[in-house]
Amino acid sequence: MKIKAIEAIPYSIPYLHPLHFASGSVHEADHVLIRLRTDDGVVGTADTPPRPYTYGETQKSIVAVVEDVFAPQLIGVDIFDREKVQAILYRTVHNQTAKGAVDIALWDVIGKTLGQPVTKLLGGYSDSLRVSHMLGFKPAQELLALALEFRETYGINTFKLKTGRRPLHLDIEAARVLREGLGEDAELYMDANRGWSANEAAEVLRRTVDLGLQFLEEPDDAREVLGRRRLVENSPIPIAADESAANLGEAAREILTGGANLLAVKTARSGFTEAAKIVGMAEGMGIDVYIGNQIDTQVGTAASVTFGAAFAHTAKRAAELSNYLDMADDLLAKPLVITGGRIHVPEGPGVGTAVDEEKLSLYRTDR
Q: Which residues are catalytic?
A: 162, 191, 217, 242, 266, 294
Q: Is the peptide bond before 167 cis (omega within 30 degrees of 0)?
A: yes
Find the shortest distance in angstroms from Cβ 253 to Mg ion: 18
Rounded to a whole number of angstroms, the CA Rg of the chain reads 20
Angle, helices 140-154 vs 169-182, to 10°: value is: 40
Q: Which is nearer to Mg ion, 66 or 222 (CB)?
A: 222
Pick from 84, 86, 78, 63: nearest CA to 6: 63
Cβ(255)–Cβ(261) below 8 Å: yes
Q: Is residue 294 a contact point for ligand MUC (CB under 6 A)?
A: yes
Q: How many residues bind ligand MUC (CB under 6 A)?
A: 11
Output 23 or 197, the one with its CB closest to ligand MUC: 23
Residues 223-242, interacting with ligand MUC (CB under 6 A): 242
Residue by residue, DSSP assigns 137-199 as S--HHHHHHHHHHHHHHH---EEEEE---SSTHHHHHHHHHHHHHH-TTSEEEEE-TT-S-HH
* Nearer Cβ to Mg ion (265/331): 265
**Residue 202 contacts ligand MUC per CB under 6 A:** no
Q: Where are the alpha helices (DSSP H) in the chain?
A: 59-64, 71-74, 82-89, 96-114, 118-122, 140-154, 169-182, 198-207, 225-234, 248-256, 267-284, 298-308, 312-315, 357-363
Q: Which is nearer to ligand MUC, 51 or 130 (CB)?
A: 51
CA–CA dist 185, 157 (Å, integer):
8
* CB 84, min distance to ligand MUC, A: 29
Choose between 54 and 273: whose C-beta lies nearer to ligand MUC. Answer: 54
What's the Cα-to-Cα distance from 24 to each of 21, 57, 155, 218, 316, rounded to whole Å?
Answer: 5, 14, 28, 14, 29
Q: x-or-dash pattern for Mg ion, window 71-110, by CB under 5 A?
A: ----------------------------------------
21 binds, among ligand MUC, Mg ion, none (CB under 5 to 8 A by kind): ligand MUC
- Cβ(55)–Cβ(101) below 8 Å: no
Chosen residue from 292, 300, 341, 352 binding ligand MUC by CB under 6 A = 292
CA distances in angstroms from 247 to 106, 143, 334, 365, listed in the order given: 19, 32, 30, 30
How far, rounded to the nearest angstrom, does the alpha carbon of residue 358 sit from its chain's CA centroid?
26
Decide if residue 193 touches ligand MUC (CB under 6 A): yes
Q: Which is nearer to Mg ion, 143 or 268 (CB)?
A: 268
Minimum CB distance to ligand MUC, residue 282 (Å): 17
Looking at beta carbons, which residue is closest to Mg ion?
242
Assess 293 for contact with ligand MUC (CB under 6 A).
yes
Neighbours of 278 (CB within 10 A): 25
Partner that binds at residue 295, options ligand MUC, Mg ion, none, CB closer than 5 to 8 Å by kind: ligand MUC
Cross-strand partners of 32: 10, 48
How many helices, marked H, and strands, marked E, lie in the chain? 14, 15
Binding mask 295-334 for ligand MUC (x = CB under 6 A): x---------------------------------------
CB of 249 to ligand MUC, least distance (A): 19
Would you count residue 191 as binding Mg ion (CB under 5 A)? yes
Among 242, 254, 274, 320, binds Mg ion (CB under 5 A): 242
Smallest gap from residue 348 Cβ to Mg ion (A): 31
Residues found near Mg ion in the complex (CB under 5 A) = 191, 217, 242
